[in-house]
Structure 1
Amino acid sequence: MRAADDLIGDLNPQQAEAVQYRGQALLIGAGAGSGKTRVLTRRIAWILTQFGAWPSQILAITFTNKAAAEMRERLTGLIGPVAQRMWVSTFHSACVRILRRDGEQIGLKSGFSIYDTADCERLVKLIGADLNIDLKRYTPRSILARISDYKNNLQGWREQLNTYAADYKPGQKGYQLGRFGNVEELYAVVYAEYQHRLAMANAVDFDDLIVRTVELLRGCPMVAEYYRHKFRYILVDEYQDTNHAQYVLVRELAGVDAGERPQPDAVAAGRQGPAWITVVGDSDQSIYAFRGADIRNIQDFEQDFPNAKTIMLEQNYRSTQTILDAANAVIAHNEGRKPKKLWTALGKGEPIVGYAADNAQQEAAWIASEIARLHVEAGVAYSDVAIMYRANAQSRSLEEALIKAGLPYQLIGGTRFYERREVKDAIAYLQAIVNPADDVNMRRILNVPKRGLGARAESLVTMYADTHAATFFDGVLHVDELGAPTRTATQLRAFRDLMTALREFAVAHDGKPSEIVAEVLSKSGLLEELQRSDDPQDASRVENLSQLQSVAAEYEQKTPDPSLAGFLETTALVADSDQLPMQGEDSGSITLMTLHTAKGLEYPVVFLTGLEQGTFPHSRSMEDTSELAEERRLAYVGITRAQRRLYVTRAAVRAQWGQAAEMMPSQFLDEIPDELIDWKRREAGMERMRGGWGNGGFGDDEFGGWDDDDFGGVSYGGAGSTFGSTYGSARGTGSSYGSGSSSAARSGYGSGRSYGSSYGSRSTYGGSGRSYGSSGSSYGSRSSKSYGSSGSRSSSYGSGSSGSGRSGKVTTRRIAPSSGSKPKQNPGASTAGNGLSIADFQIGDKITHDKFGLGTVVDLQDKGPKSVITVDFGSDGVKRLMLAVAPIEKL
């Protein structure tokens, strides 16, 4: 146990104040990289040593298993082995413990199953088939998203049913949906039936873990009193990511609304009245609205908890000042946020590197070549590099480029280990053993591996279960009453005996989940079927099953009281981020992930890709200011993941729905101060030939004309190569830009590595046999350093290179005209396709929109042909409209 001075001696003044604060409610506004985990763990140690609390009185909640493990490890270093007895877990894990202990008070037996996404979708499909729902129109995923919204907002199924389909009774047969075409009726009925079948199966989904715990605490005063007496200090990490249900859960556990008045802190110190609550978070990093996260929870903390104290942590220990200046500049455009400006003592650092590619393939190829250069020339380990993107679909071109470059990588957020078919089958057996009432998993394994029990056998068992209001396995147990053909009955008896034997084995070996896994794999035939197969993919499936057994053995070694149910909990509550190696562990691979997955992580080198309007920010945010604010917070998160080097890249053309779409640079690039970015290539070739994006374009006056060298060391249309691979074939022209040029000295950028692959329908980027890195080519802007071998003339990859005398980036500055004045129009601004020009508008003008109706102009952004107006449509909200294509009329 460390002394008081040891706990705060190495903290900055704000961190030390947060650690020592005595009071019922504390909000620690922790900016990115400001040491929040250190503060949180030190505060827990301070509460134990200075406030005289017991370890059992503390509940610390995080959002991922990885974060919980890190916190527990740090606490062990501070206070010793006693930390292992504290409740340090995710919301869901804490709720599982509560429900296992007391769930029977609300009809939930302790052996309940936890359904993952696949299980839930399978259940909705079964319900849809019984209710004759068109599951192509109303997909299981969309139905589950609506159910999740209900649960996140604590809207019960009875409430929805009474409102939209009061005549439906869960479990009812032959109900006719859609008599009046009311989609809310469909959602209400499916929600009610879904919850009914979960209850019948003694199962819950992820959202239920929170919702049912709230139900338990609200409906069972004795249980609520037990936990309010037990937990006197509640600490919540990442509070900005909590949804309404989690917000209510925290208040219920703390007893905030129980009518008890807080006592003077000198007397109580958390021992009387409501528990003391500490929340840590950053409203600028609230990026999970799509999961139900409510940013108001952190924004309104001081109103929700009277006399609450707020302490801001603004010193960053992760990134250079250049990276922080970029993050500060971007997030400053969000309105209604608490003022916060990150700073660091680490120094200015290197400039951000920018690159504008012609298409997604070229963007990916440049990133791969730059990572290879960093590895060779700067000694950067592959595991120190992360490539981040807005949507999973963007990973394809990046993966292809890394494979072609021979660079190792790991993709986070793909098919997870526990979602692979053979692993899911094995876990379904384990779930069915622990909980025979689990119809979804029992039906999954009825004919896995194939044992002659197809749809006919399943329907016979289901019919018996429905008739007798019993579980599916009850139907199997009563095989002699099904009237099944002899062969089917024989196979059903064999399945019944198998499951009975496995269940008996599991009860006898409950403390050894690895042995139970081995028994299931052997006796079920799952392993034998794959081992007999000639399919080479089945060999890797065998390895996956072997890995499952190893995971179970590892769980046994790390858990004080292991059990099969406990092991299944750990597999059910794994998140994408838990796949990542622990901090300091060298995976030897570049990491690819979405920006949402990257939250809470950090890397020495980060590539932030796809910075185009419609890609990032996402197209959904283009007409919604609240969604745009969330996209900007996501950009802030991405920027602040970088420790030493940050790259920002974009593509001028990106494939969308099978078509090549021209992309405008992201407004987030425009919000980063110009002097912070060193553009290796400011514009794509197409943009330069047109005169550039933005305010009026760029002509000879600014650039002094352009010639073959302006394409920066790659001969577009030299021997065997055409620049028309995307811009020709995709646009139907087939033309070759610069087809007369064939200088081999301009053919590459790297040292002797050949990328002879094709980026387009019929032409090669770099040409067959041409090398990325023949003599003297340069990466470009503001630098004459050559990354090729010395020799012939040094051409550069990007404008603004040595000898070109060109400077300045493509910008689209925001215009905020004073009321009543019109913005100045750029010389190159053009009239929109609907005949409207940005010069025709001023703030306060009225317009009509074909979809949203009457609106008032509240902001103008002059971007020439890409100009944007922001309009307040009243009840339809505030929308951002691209003037050139908006179906509007000025009044």
Structure 2
Amino acid sequence: MGPVMCDPRSLIEGLNPQQEEAVKYYGQALLIGAGAGSGKTRVLTRRIAWLLAHGFWASSILAITFTNKAAAEMRERLVTLVGPEAEHMWISTFHSACVRILRRDGKEIGLKSGFSIYDTADSERLVKLIAADLNIDTKRYTPRMLLGKISDCKNALVSWKDQLKKANCDYTPGQRGYQVSAGDVDELVAVVYAEYQHRLALANAVDFDDLIMRTVELLQTCPQVSEYYRHRFRYIFVDEYQDTNHAQYVLVRELSGIDSDEQPDPQARGAGRVGPSWITVVGDSDQSIYAFRGADIRNIQDFEQDFPNAKTIMLEQNYRSTQTILDAANAVIAKNENRKPKKLWTALGQGDKIVGYAADNAQQEAGWIANEIARIHTEEDVAYRDIAIMYRANAQSRSLEEAMINANLPYQLVGGTKFYERREVKDAIAYLQAIVNPADNVNVRRILNVPKRGLGARAEGLVAGYADAHGLTFFESIEHMDQIEGMTGRTTKPLGAFRDLMHELADFAKEHDSKPSEVVAEVLDKSGLLEELQRSEDPQDASRVDNLSQLQSVAAEFEQNTPDATLAGFLETTALVADSDQLPGEGEDSGKVTMMTLHTAKGLEYPYVFLTGMEQGTFPHQRAMEDTSELSEERRLAYVGITRAKRRLYVTRAAVRAQWGQANDMMPSQFLDEIPDELIDWKRREAGVERMRASWGDDDEFGGWDDDDDFGSTSFGGSMYGSSTYGSSSYGSGSRGSHPTYGSSHGSHSSYGSGRSSYGSGSRRFSGGSHSGSSSYGSYGSSRSSYGSGKPSGKSGKVTTRRAKPKDLTKSAPASSLDGNNGLSISDFQIGDRITHDHYGLGKVIETQDKGANSVITVDFGTDGVKRLLLRVAPIEKL
């Protein structure tokens, strides 16, 4: 295609000086250091349009993003700027671009074009099958852990052969009867990795990490292929460059040809130009938060060293948030060392102060948040879609969800069980995968007895054994079932019916390949998946039917939006969906509050944001306490969270939080200390328990109560940490409370654990997620009057009546799990020791972790599963 002409002047209208400089820059390598909310997508799309307006060809442009949503947004903006010519560019995610390259040229490295793409569930299933064949204890070495280690290898471009060599292991893929050395994790990972890749190859399948790694392999081993793409993509743009891992970094270098011998011709333009491609990367080192996925911050930090004659342009004007929010973000991130100085500013004005709240426990924190959401929705007319609740870890969502439900507030949870991971949807897609690629053993084995057709573990074992012995795929083995020893008529009949069904579905799919929705409908009908769910009396199965209906709708939508739609193409799009792609689009009103982890929130923005769990050990995470690089990453995550807010930011914390079934005192997050105090309006600066502790050091006064602190006056009634004023909120139910602050008028009954609590000291004192006895964390008296009958005096908020000594108070308080200690020491326990537990019975110790007072042992209780126990409070005895 030839060059596109559009008016260059229109492309720089409304840009600030730094944005304009970035758009117009003419040179080999450019890093746009784009701070949060600084208009990076606008700059990136206008830079591409600027090149087109100056005679560069659309077909010579490759633009890479991290999510399908970002790619779609970029494409839409470019269509607006340059018209339909935008369709001739490659605008896609890393993974989608690699799929296109591998579909076209993967045969050069042994990949047939119809390969399957395994998601995490498929990969874990394959590792589980391998572990069973190699007699690996999957309770000690879980498939998820093994897969994580394999993923680390692939992100670092370490092949299975390299890993075997590193582990000094002589395993041959496909080998039977191999014994892995007990306790040698390196050898175990190397063997599973080698076998995993072997079976992926047999199944003509790849996993997500393979999409990058195998594309790099293709470009490095096939000169004619790398030459084709280097001459095609003369201008490469990479968004969110700070999130790239080593494999993606090498992929970009390979595509650009920066390491080749070709010399650049500065005069030449368009597809005929020789030499390395021009590369523009956009990113913010302060938002590099995916180290746990292998992202390497050095990629962006060392850009100027990695690419000759590179230029950096910093974008610091923020168009999203108020100056108060930016001042807080700047103050927190400034504590990180070895970063390029950058200070975000805005012309939007100072804005509201940050609102802070310190709760007694997680339930009260969640209750206050729910009530505040109800209040701003009613009093300030804030739409639910404009509100987001963010947390460091998924586990924190439980109490938040309970509070939202109790307050009758609509919400959506992002990052829970995703649509394509639901069992019935996975089953339907497994049928489709098996039709497109019969060599896909994992998916064929998944549907062998789904719905039930009398083909259990014995039948599957016979077929798998024959396949292994004769070097066949699982389905090829079914085709030879008459030759399999041990087969009975009772097995061959349903097995033959399954084989015939798959042939019929494959024939139908070939005839209707351009109509994936019709293939989905045929599969749901002929397989019996739909009929089984429709006949079920389980109310949950009705929603599963709806999910299958939705799958067919998604396929129909894909057909309408894709001119050359195919069944394989549809399966590809379902495989490459990311967490953030589930979110409603801009301008689309979900009518719900959004709840998500901070990692998922990256790239999003909301007028009102609640940052929860701001405590040491929660956020920053416990792992970061003694590791400076991890703490730097946590601080960047805090920076990301703060800068998601456009209009008002809330920060909340809990004085006590349950971890591993144990109630722990939590110190305020150091990130709160790093935010200038004048920026925060504390609705409650200290939790009740903290004030009480402080008061114990003062013989004369109880101390610390605020006049208008309704929480303080109610949270000590009954169980100190169990009850809360936040039950059914009068805002949530539609009526208005009479009190303008957040007092008891907003909740008519307690719903946060005044009965049974999961953190008490009953018979199930400790186990991950178990429920315990009737006590909450412990009560400090039946009401506030236990500490004296006086009333707050004046504005000082002090109680002037003398109080009882602390030792007298604690004598009368029920035992709290905070203080529990059974006298056991971690040094007394070794892997293999037998113990007995009051609730779970006999168990075997499979792991010990020496953490001083918080030491943990992991125990296999057989049918009750594997449990992690906090040693000092676990009701156990060593045998």
TM-aligned CA deviation for residue 248 of structure 1 = 0.3
* Cα pair 1:725 1:762 within 8 Å, conserved: no
In structure 2, relative to structure 1, the CA distance for the partners of 1:673 and 1:707 (3 Å cut) is closer
- Give 3-state SS (helix, strand or coil) of 1:448's partner: coil
What's the CA shift string for 1:395-454, capped at 9, x where partnerless? 000000000001000000000000000000000000000000000000000000000111
Partner of 1:286: 288
Q: Distance in 2 between matches of 1:707 and 1:86?
A: 64
* Cα pair 2:723 2:752 within 8 Å, conserved: no
Q: Distance in 1 between matches of 2:92 and 2:321?
A: 28
TM-aligned CA deviation for residue 756 of structure 1 = 3.5
Q: Distance in 1 between matches of 2:56 and 2:797?
A: 65
- Give 3-state SS (helix, strand or coil) of 1:510's partner: coil
Q: Distance in 1 between matches of 2:132 and 2:635?
A: 42
* Cα pair 2:723 2:751 within 8 Å, conserved: no
TM-aligned CA deviation for residue 710 of structure 1 = 6.7
Match of 1:36 among 12, 18, 40: 40
Partner of 1:724: 720
Partner of 2:429: 427
Residues 128-167 of structure 1 aligned to structure 2 (within 5 Å): 128-167=131-170
Match of 2:355 among 349, 353, 356: 353
Match of 2:668 among 665, 673, 678: 665
Partner of 2:582: 579
Query: What letter is aligned with 1:362?
Result: Q
Q: Distance in 2 between matches of 1:707 and 1:9?
A: 56
Corresponding pairs, count: 754
Q: Distance in 2 between matches of 1:621 and 1:802?
A: 43
What's the CA shift string for 1:843-878, capped at 9, x where partnerless? xxxxxxx9xxxxxxxxxxxxxxxxxxxxxxxxxxxx
Partner of 2:604: 601
Partner of 2:748: 754
Partner of 2:504: 501
* Cα pair 2:710 2:742 within 8 Å, conserved: no
- Give 3-state SS (helix, strand or coil) of 2:308's partner: coil
Partner of 1:73: 76
Partner of 1:860: none
After TM superposition, the structure 1 stretch with the greater mean CA deviation from structure 2, 104-113 or 453-462, is: 453-462
Match of 2:16 among 3, 7, 12: 12
Partner of 1:779: none
Query: What letter is aligned with 2:461?
Result: S
In structure 2, relative to structure 1, the CA distance for the partners of 1:269 and 1:554 (3 Å cut) is closer
Where structure 1 has 5 or more consecutive residues not aligned to the other structure, the ranges are 729-743, 764-800, 808-832, 834-849, 851-880, 886-891
* Cα pair 1:581 1:587 within 8 Å, conserved: yes
Query: What letter is aligned with 1:307?
Result: N
Q: Distance in 2 between matches of 1:745 and 1:221?
A: 74
* 2:536 is the alignment partner of 1:545: no
In structure 2, relative to structure 1, the CA distance for the partners of 1:362 and 1:175 (3 Å cut) is same
Match of 1:563 among 562, 566, 573: 566
Q: Distance in 2 between matches of 1:607 and 1:270?
A: 52
What's the CA shift string for 1:682-741, capped at 9, x where partnerless? 00001112228xxxx99799x9944584743653378xx42524499xxxxxxxxxxxxx
- Give 3-state SS (helix, strand or coil) of 1:616's partner: coil
Match of 1:91 among 89, 94, 107: 94
Residues 416-815 of structure 1 aligned to structure 2 (within 5 Å): 416-483=418-485, 484-691=487-694, 705-706=703-704, 709=707, 711-712=709-710, 715-716=713-714, 721-726=717-722, 749=743, 753-761=747-755, 804=795
Q: Distance in 2 between matches of 1:256 and 1:468?
A: 46
- Give 3-state SS (helix, strand or coil) of 1:61's partner: strand
Query: What letter is aligned with 2:21?
Result: E
Query: What letter is aligned with 1:36?
Result: K
* Cα pair 1:165 1:188 within 8 Å, conserved: no
TM-aligned CA deviation for residue 86 of structure 1 = 1.6
Match of 1:373 among 360, 375, 396: 375
In structure 2, relative to structure 1, the CA distance for the partners of 1:437 and 1:803 (3 Å cut) is farther
Q: Distance in 2 between matches of 1:47 and 1:747?
A: 56
* Cα pair 1:231 1:275 within 8 Å, conserved: yes
Q: Distance in 1 between matches of 2:472 and 2:57?
A: 46
- Give 3-state SS (helix, strand or coil) of 1:73's partner: helix
* Cα pair 2:116 2:205 within 8 Å, conserved: yes
What's the CA shift string for 1:739-787, capped at 9, x where partnerless? xxxxx99996275552432434469xxxxxxxxxxxxxxxxxxxxxxxx
Q: Distance in 2 between matches of 1:57 and 1:746?
A: 61
Q: Distance in 2 between matches of 1:708 and 1:678?
A: 14
TM-aligned CA deviation for residue 491 of structure 1 = 1.0
* Cα pair 2:64 2:93 within 8 Å, conserved: yes
- Give 3-state SS (helix, strand or coil) of 1:257's partner: coil
In structure 2, relative to structure 1, the CA distance for the partners of 1:684 and 1:746 (3 Å cut) is farther
* Cα pair 2:60 2:271 within 8 Å, conserved: no
In structure 2, relative to structure 1, the CA distance for the partners of 1:267 and 1:91 (3 Å cut) is closer
TM-aligned CA deviation for residue 55 of structure 1 = 1.2
Q: Distance in 1 between matches of 2:664 and 2:622?
A: 13
What's the CA shift string for 1:287-344, capped at 9, x where partnerless? 0000000000000000000110000000000000000000000000000000000000
Residues 168-207 of structure 1 aligned to structure 2 (within 5 Å): 168-178=171-181, 181-207=183-209
- Give 3-state SS (helix, strand or coil) of 1:647's partner: strand
Q: Distance in 2 between matches of 1:713 and 1:803?
A: 19
In structure 2, relative to structure 1, the CA distance for the partners of 1:272 and 1:353 (3 Å cut) is same
* 2:50 is the alignment partner of 1:46: yes
Q: Distance in 2 between matches of 1:659 and 1:287?
A: 29
Q: Distance in 2 between matches of 1:704 and 1:392?
A: 37
* Cα pair 2:715 2:721 within 8 Å, conserved: no
What's the CA shift string for 1:6-63, capped at 9, x where partnerless? 100110000000001000100000000000000000011011111x121111000000
Query: What letter is aligned with 1:520?
Result: V
Q: Distance in 2 between matches of 1:673 and 1:462?
A: 64
Q: Distance in 1 between matches of 2:159 and 2:549?
A: 42
Query: What letter is aligned with 1:189?
Result: V
Query: What letter is aligned with 2:73?
Result: E
Partner of 1:394: 396
- Give 3-state SS (helix, strand or coil) of 2:424's partner: helix
Query: What letter is aligned with 2:423?
Result: R
In structure 2, relative to structure 1, the CA distance for the partners of 1:706 and 1:303 (3 Å cut) is closer
Match of 1:256 among 255, 258, 265: 258
Partner of 2:874: none
Percentage of identical aligned residues: 75
Query: What letter is aligned with 2:85?
Result: V
Q: Distance in 2 between matches of 1:270 and 1:601?
A: 39
Q: Distance in 1 between matches of 2:317 and 2:271?
A: 29
Query: What letter is aligned with 1:25?
Result: A
Match of 1:23 among 24, 27, 32: 27
TM-aligned CA deviation for residue 803 of structure 1 = 6.6
TM-aligned CA deviation for residue 161 of structure 1 = 1.2
Q: Distance in 2 between matches of 1:265 and 1:751?
A: 74
* Cα pair 1:165 1:189 within 8 Å, conserved: no
After TM superposition, the structure 1 stretch with the greater mean CA deviation from structure 2, 134-143 or 391-400, is: 134-143
Q: Distance in 2 between matches of 1:153 and 1:698?
A: 54
- Give 3-state SS (helix, strand or coil) of 2:212's partner: helix
Q: Distance in 2 between matches of 1:31 and 1:127?
A: 45
TM-aligned CA deviation for residue 264 of structure 1 = 2.4
Match of 1:101 among 96, 101, 104: 104
Q: Distance in 1 between matches of 2:706 and 2:671?
A: 31
* Cα pair 2:534 2:541 within 8 Å, conserved: yes
TM-aligned CA deviation for residue 265 of structure 1 = 5.0
* Cα pair 1:164 1:188 within 8 Å, conserved: yes
